[in-house]
Each structure stands twice: as C-alpha cells, then as structure tokens.
Amino acid sequence: MRRRTAPRRIPALPLGLGLAALLLLSLLCGVALGAAGIGWADVLRFLWAGLTGGTVHAHDAAPYTIVWEIRLPRVLLAAVVGAGLAAVGVAVQAMVRNALADPFVLGISSGAAVGANAVILLGALAGLGVWALSVSAFASALAAMALVYAVARSPHGLTPLRLILTGTALAYGFEAVTTVMVFGAARGEAARSAMMWLLGSLGGATWAQVPLAAVTVAAGWAWLRRRAEALNALAMGDETAASLGVPPPRLRRELFLVTAAVTGTVVAVSGAIGFVGLMVPHVVRMLVGADHRRVLAVAPLAGAVLLVWADVLSRLLLAPAELPVGVITAVVGVPAFLLLMRRGGYAFGGR
Amino acid sequence: MRLDIEDVTIEAAGTRLVEHIDLTVGSGTFAGLVGPNGSGKSTLLRSVYRALRPAAGAVRLDGDDLHAMDPQAAARSLAALPQESSAEFDFTVAEVVGMGRLPHRGRTAGADREICARAMDRTGVTHLAGRGFPGLSGGEKQRVLIARALAQQPRVLVLDEPTNHLDIAHQLDVLSLVRESGLTVLAALHDLNLAAAHCDVLYVIDKGRIVAAGPPLDVLRPALLAEVFGIRAHPVRHPVSGAVQLLFDRLPPTT
C-alpha cells in the first residue's frame, strides 16, 4: 500500500473571501474591457449613473448604452452561469460518483439544444419574439429531463450507472436531431449561430435574462449547501448514506430536480458552455479537499471568476468577431487543470 | 438496545432473497450471522441498516419498527459498516469519522469534535486524522470506519464481514474493538472459528432461511456444517487456550 502525505489544503474561508473580492474586481474589468475602447473613468461614471439613477450627457448615450445595456448584463450573466455550472458540476459528480460527470452528462443540455436550434434554424415559436430562444431551450430541457428521469427510473430508484448511461444515450439522440437540423438549414449564418449556441456563448445576454437566472442559481446553490453533508455521505456510497440516515433514492431524486432546473436555466441563456462544470469542481477539491461544505462554498465563486474572464477573452481576442466562450474555457482551463493535477495528491477518479 | 428481526422476507426483481427470517439480538449481545456465499447474509443486514426495505415482516429496535422511523432518528440508534468500499473522493480520516455525526446535526452544538476525537482515540486512528482515507491500508480503513460508527453514538452496530481482506492480527483487533464497545452487535462473518470465539450467539443462514441458532458450540455441529457448507468439520482442542477449534476438509460430492 502506497503511503501518501497529507494533502496540502488551503483554508476555505480565506479562499472564499479572496475569490469573492476577485469576482468583484473581475466584474469591473469585464465591464471596462471591450472592443469599443471606453475609458475606465467613463465606465465608472456610467456605472455610478446607472446604479444611482443619475443622468449622463446626450453625447455619452452610445458608450453608456454599451456599458449599461450590453456589457453589464453580459458580465453578470457570465458570473451567474459560471457559478451555476460549477455548483451543479459538484452536485452531479457526487450524485453519480463519477469523476467524468458534468452538468451535461444527464442529457439536459443536448435536449435544450434541440429547442434552441429549432428556433434559430427553423424559426419555431416566432410569436414569442426575443424570448423564443430561451423559452424553447428551457422547455426542451425540461422535456429532456422528464424523459431521462422516466427512462433511468428503476425499482431501486435512480442508480448512478443508469443515470449516466441513460443521460449519455439520450444525449446522442438529441445531438443527432440537432445535427440534422443544422445540416438541413438553408442559411449559413443560422448554422453558424447554431454552432455558437452548441459551444456556448453569452453574446445574447440581456437584462431580462439576469434576474431569473440569478434567482434560480442562487436558490439551487443554497439548497445544495444545505445538503452538503448529505452529499458527503452519498459520496461514500449508497449503503453508507442509508446507514447514516440519508436515504439515497430520495436525495438523488431531489438532486436530479435541482441540478436539472439550474442546468436548464443556465443552458437556456448561454448554451452549453463546457469545461466549467467538469473541471472547476476538481480544481476546488484539489485546493480545499473533498468535504462538500467547503467545495460548495468555493466552487461557484471560482466558476464565476473563470467564466467572466473567459467571456472577456472571447470578446477581445478576435474583436470585433467573437469566439465561442467554451473554446476559451478549454484553452485556459485545460493547462491549469493539468498543472494542478500533476502536483499530485488528488484521489478522485483513481490513483 | 434489543434488535428483533421478525418474519422478514426480502424480494428483488421477483426473486425471494431471504424468507421468513426471525432473529433476535439481546441488548449488549454479540450475534454472528454465518452462511455460505449467496445465502442472504448481506441482504438481510441491508434491510437492518435500511439500505433495503423488506417485502414483509419488520425490523424492530426495542419494539419500534425501524423502517417506520425517521431516517435520522434510526441512524442515531443504529450504525453500520457496509461491505462497499467506494473511496473515490479524497476525504480525510477526520472528515470520514465526522460523517458519523450527521444524524445528530442540530442536536449537539459544539460536542461533535470531542465525540469524534474520542471515537478515533478508541480505535487508535488519531494519528491518521489528517491523512486521506483512500490511501489507507485495509486494516486502517476498517478502524476508521469503526470510529465513524462509534462517533454515531449508536446502541446497535451492524457489520457486514468486517474482517474481510484483513490479516489475522487485524481480524482479531477489529473484533475485539467491536466486542469492547459493549453495543448490541449483529455481524456477518466468514471465518467460523473467529465467529465461535467472539460471538455470544450464532445464526446460520442457508438459501435465505435461518437453519440453526444458539450458542456457537451448539450450532457449529459437523452434521449441520456438512449440510450447509458441504464440508467435513473436525473439532479439536486449542493446545494453549483449550478452546474448541474446527478443522475442515471438503466433503466428497454425494451422487
């Protein structure tokens, strides 16, 4: 038996406070940086005016609109989406006890993609106007969730393996439907935006999307934090959880609903942004250990910071064109993750 | 606390895994459950620590139906060492032991740390507190899990083959630890001599039914062992302790 030294760990409280401060700074940078080149002083003035309901000069109307109506909701949404994906990633990995699990392993995002692309490519739900995309994506996410739930159910409840297999199998089915729609689409630009959506993008962010997404993610996060100790028990195994007074079937059912609701909401406003929900939980576990009370306190902050910066880069690198944000999260995140993992001492997923 | 298994039948996918089991463990008694592989030992124990719900019958703690109780309340009375050993998450030893306090959350402000420290002290794992649980040896893991069970402050302890994969010294250590806890214990055991040496009472289970029960030496008779395990048992005296030990050889297949 190989002996390992005690894992090096960072106390969660200072790390959490540090990340919270970093997140505020990141939000500010996210609003200030952009293709339009608006100075810091102006950005701060516009933010102050927006927050306090002050006035700006008429000739400042265009930059003010860029800061307040375009960048700020986008940056806030990036933080909300990053936090949601990271929190759900933690929960799903514990729910199915699998290191490869992420918020999309249950097939919900692929289901949402079908609805979103029906709007982008086929013009479905045109009557709903600007809301068509989000509504359609969320509705098809819920339909996918109901389907996965119905198929994965067994007399023993939702077992980890059945959940993963069902989610993965149905995701292939949903992706096939999406692919057929993309190939069948006559318009090239539509196919491009469908692609953008599949890889994830915050380009369509509006103020209208922020409150609902923020409330859903915050509620989901609060619920997960309340159940953090139950998640610890579940991570040790179903029988252990049962013997500790945490019936696994009930907990897994609740987890499925909460993670599906948060994933559906997040995917409806930003598409399927990869990597955040898979890697942030692992990185955070490497830093603070496996206890979900600490992981769930830190992971959403880390996810929010990561996605805010990934979105800034996606806007700046090829400005005025945009890269899908999922590309950035992968390019930035993969080396960071590999570096941390090689530092050693991380157990999840076998040693 | 007294544990009663009353006429319990457990089914899975239409098959009866155990049938009409009656079993009693008196307060403070160490009861052993022995039987061949697939006889239903683990299945029966799962229904006791509530990982399975019996199709019929009841499991009672001092008369109260365990499956009708609030899950947390049940876990405050009864702790278990299941056989599963999923160690994918890198919890530290202290975190694993701390999980034993989960059923007591919100009831014992501040005392949790001391209770865990005492449990770790009793099983001799205090020096491992900061180590990662997945990296421990089998014997260390088992002692940590017993510490978790003790931290749960139960009155009944259920163990599913707690000596599996342990060398002989660790087997003896683990069973002494359990014995010294003074709790009501129900343990599935493979080693018949170990079972005979440590248990007050033995239940023999075969094909999902209890076929014998009583004090170890009354139960482990060669005729019964031949029937249940298909082996020939030879009782001999231990040259030092004088205790009866069983030696085995395979029974020639009957045709």
Please tell me whether residue B61 adopts helix, strand or coil conformation: strand
Please, are residues A93 and A224 in contact by the beta-carbon 8 Å criterion? no
Please tell me the predicted confidence (pLDDT) of residue A3: 43
For A198, A199, A273, A327, the CA distances from A179, given in Å and listed in that order, are 10, 13, 18, 20
Does A135 fall in a domain? Answer: yes
Rounded to the nearest 10°, the torsion over CA B14, B17, B19, B24 is -140
In this structure, of A14-18, A49-53, A258-262, the range with the lowest mean pLDDT score is: A49-53
Contacts of B137 in chain A (CB under 8 A): 1
Length of chain B: 255
Domain that holds residue A224: 66-341
Please tell me the predicted confidence (pLDDT) of residue B36: 93
DSSP secondary structure code for residue A70 in this structure: I
User: Between residues A192 and A302, which one has the greater pLDDT?
Assistant: A302
Does A188 fall in a domain? Answer: yes
Is residue A296's pLDDT more than 80? yes
Q: Other C-beta atoms within 10 Å of A37: how many?
A: 8
Amino acid at A118: A
Does A205 fall in a domain? Answer: yes
CB spacing of B71 vs A247 below 8 angstroms: yes
Whose tokens are 């507190």? That residue is B129
CA distance A119 to A290: 41
DSSP secondary structure code for residue A233 in this structure: H
Whose tokens are 């739900």? That residue is A125
Mutate to test the interface with B, among A240, A243, A291 (most CBs of B within 10 A): A243
Please tell me the predicted confidence (pLDDT) of residue B28: 93
CB spacing of B95 vs A235 below 8 angstroms: no
Contacts of A11 in chain B (CB under 8 A): none
CB spacing of B82 vs A240 below 8 angstroms: yes
Q: Other C-beta atoms within 10 Å of A61: how many?
A: 10
Maximum separation of any 2 CA atoms in chain B, in Å = 66
Question: Whose CA is closest to A285, among A346, A351, A350?
Answer: A346
Please tell me the predicted confidence (pLDDT) of residue A4: 47
Please tell me the predicted confidence (pLDDT) of residue B60: 95
CATH of the domain at A258: 1.10.3470.10
**Interacting residues of A160 by C-beta distance below 8 A, sequence separation 6+:** A95, A96, A97, A98
Does A237 fall in a domain? Answer: yes
Does A280 fall in a domain? Answer: yes
Contacts of A283 in chain B (CB under 8 A): none
Interface of B with A in 188-247 (CB under 8 A): none
Q: Which two tokens stand for residue B111?
A: 């005392």
Please tell me whether residue B21 adopts helix, strand or coil conformation: strand
**Kind and range of the H or E run holding A271:** none
Q: What is the mean pLDDT of each run of 10 residues along chain B (255 residues)?
A: 94 88 94 94 94 93 93 95 80 94 81 92 93 90 93 95 88 90 94 92 94 92 92 89 87 70
For A64, B119, B190, B219, the CA distances from A82, given in Å and listed in that order, are 26, 40, 51, 63
Question: pLDDT digit string (tens) for A195-253?
Answer: 777 788 888 888 888 988 999 999 999 999 999 999 999 999 999 999 999 999 999 98
Q: How many domains does chain A have?
A: 1
How many Cα atoms occupy the beta-carbon half-sphere of A183 within 13 Å? 6
Please tell me the predicted confidence (pLDDT) of residue A1: 37
Please tell me the predicted confidence (pLDDT) of residue B75: 95
**Kind and range of the H or E run holding B95:** helix B93-98
Please tell me the predicted confidence (pLDDT) of residue A2: 41
- Give the gap in angstroms from C-alpha B82 to the nearest C-alpha of chain A: 6
Average pLDDT over residues A32-45: 84
Amino acid at A160: P
Please, are residues B43 and B17 in contact by the beta-carbon 8 Å criterion? yes
Average pLDDT over residues A165-181: 89
DSSP strand pairing (B78-81 vs B156-160): parallel
Nearest-Å Rg of the Cα atoms of chain A is: 21
Does A191 fall in a domain? Answer: yes
CA distance B113 to B84: 26
Q: Other C-beta atoms within 10 Å of B14: how many?
A: 6
Out of A4, A235, A291, closest to residue B132 by CB: A4
CB spacing of A345 vs B132 below 8 angstroms: yes
Mutate to test the interface with A, among B17, B89, B145 (most CBs of A within 10 A): B89
Domains of chain B: 3-87+154-220 (3.40.50.300)
Please tell me the predicted confidence (pLDDT) of residue B254: 64
Please, are residues B133 and B91 in contact by the beta-carbon 8 Å criterion? yes
DSSP strand pairing (B209-214 vs B3-12): unpaired
Does A42 fall in a domain? Answer: no
Phi, psi of B157 (to 5 degrees): -125, 130
Whose tokens are 């689409």? That residue is A185
pTM of the model: 0.90
Please tell me the predicted confidence (pLDDT) of residue A348: 59
Contacts of A239 in chain B (CB under 8 A): 46, 49, 51, 80, 82-84
Please tell me whether residue B200 adopts helix, strand or coil conformation: coil
Interface of B with A in 136-175 (CB under 8 A): 136-138, 152, 158
Amino acid at A58: A
Whose tokens are 């800061």? That residue is A67
Interface of B with A in 40-69 (CB under 8 A): 46, 49-51
Question: pLDDT digit string (tens) for A240-293?
Answer: 999 999 999 999 989 988 998 899 889 888 888 888 998 899 999 988 999 999
Please tell me the predicted confidence (pLDDT) of residue A128: 67
- CA A51, distance to chain mean position in Å, is 27
Please tell me the predicted confidence (pLDDT) of residue A187: 67
**Interacting residues of A233 by C-beta distance below 8 A, sequence separation 6+:** A240, A241, A244, A246, B99, B102
Residue of A nearest to B71 (CA): A245
How many Cα atoms occupy the beta-carbon half-sphere of A347 within 13 Å? 23
**Sheet strands side by side (includes B64-65):** B15-25, B3-12, B56-61, B64-65
- Residue B176 near chain A (CB below 8 Å): no
- Residue B84 near chain A (CB below 8 Å): yes
Q: At what angle do helices A72-96 and A276-288 cross, to 10 degrees?
A: 70
Please tell me whether residue A272 adopts helix, strand or coil conformation: coil
Please, are residues B132 and A3 in contact by the beta-carbon 8 Å criterion? no
CB spacing of A1 vs B136 below 8 angstroms: yes
Please tell me the predicted confidence (pLDDT) of residue B108: 66
Out of A1, A238, A348, closest to residue B89 by CB: A348
**Kind and range of the H or E run holding A18:** helix A12-32
**Interacting residues of A41 by C-beta distance below 8 A, sequence separation 6+:** none
Out of A238, A239, A245, closest to residue B71 by CB: A245
Question: Whose CA is closest to B219, among B238, B232, B200?
Answer: B200
Does A251 fall in a domain? Answer: yes
Contacts of A229 in chain B (CB under 8 A): 99, 102, 105
A/B interface, count of CB pairs below 8 Å:
120
Cis peptide before A320 (omega within 30 of 0): yes
Q: Where are the beta strands (DSSP E) in chain A?
A: none
